[in-house]
Amino acid sequence: MLSQAEENYIKEIYALEEETSQLVSTNAIAKKMSTKASSATDMLQKLNQKGLVDYTKYRGAKLSAKGKSKAMTIVRKHRLWETFLVEKLGFNWDEVHDIAEQLEHIQSKTLTNRLDAFLEYPSFDPHGHPIPNVNGKIVASESTLLAELKVHEGGVLVGVKDSSDHFLKYLSKINITIGDHIKVLDIEPFDNSVTISNKTAKLTISGNVANNLYIHANEHV
């Protein structure tokens, strides 16, 4: 059985691998884990010995097939718990990450499978992230970043790239949520800010915000 710290490293290495096709650097892992590079190196060496990562000194690491399978199991539990907390217990989407961080370390496969069945086998969590099924497979999402759309294009908001509490609270503050029908009204070339409309209002968001919203796009809406 792995420790919680080992599981956390595996999950974060998986997240970093999703952002790059290269080896994940020790510094990037240390930053993600809010620790020193030397501590990250020690953990990578330990995970390498357990066959969970392929680690090359001074170059970085990537998950092995065994590590990837373990990562998908952890991610599956985390996202199922987030879904349960939002859909069944009434938590806001910006309140569930830290709680799910604790619950994802429960080892019972039976509990995870029954939770999945109770939720009727959801494919995506409340933030629009895909939930791996019992075999570690995920449903591909046909989405694009809002920042990549042109004027008069739009679609349905299906996910967020940044699921941090402060970003989700900001979206709630400006009344943007999963399922919104969003249309691009104008793009400001100077700073890439985007004027959009949704179900409640017309508003202007920064280019950074637009680059963190996933849209299931229609050609024109």
For residue 153, the model assigns a pLDDT of 96
Strand order through the sheet with 213-218: 144-145, 213-218, 154-160, 181-188, 193-197, 202-205
> Do 144-218 and 4-63 fall under one CATH topology?
no
Rounded (10°) angle between helices 26-33 and 4-17: 120
Ordered by start, the domain boundaries in the chain are 4-63, 144-218
Q: Chain-centre distance of CA 12, in angstroms?
A: 10
Which CATH code is given to the segment(s) 4-63? Answer: 1.10.10.10
For residue 139, the model assigns a pLDDT of 84
| Residues 6+ away with beta carbon under 8 Å from 144 | 214, 215, 217
For residue 142, the model assigns a pLDDT of 83
Return phi, psi of residue 165, to 5°. -60, -45
Q: What is the mean pLDDT of each run of 10 residues along the chain (221 residues)?
A: 95 92 91 95 97 93 96 98 98 96 97 98 95 92 92 95 94 94 96 93 96 84 50
| Alpha-carbon span 185 to 204, nearest angstrom | 9
Host H or E run for residue 40: helix 37-49
| Alpha-carbon span 44 to 29, nearest angstrom | 9
Domain 144-218 fold: SH3 type barrels. (2.30.30)
Are 162 and 191 in contact, with CB atoms under 8 Å apart? no
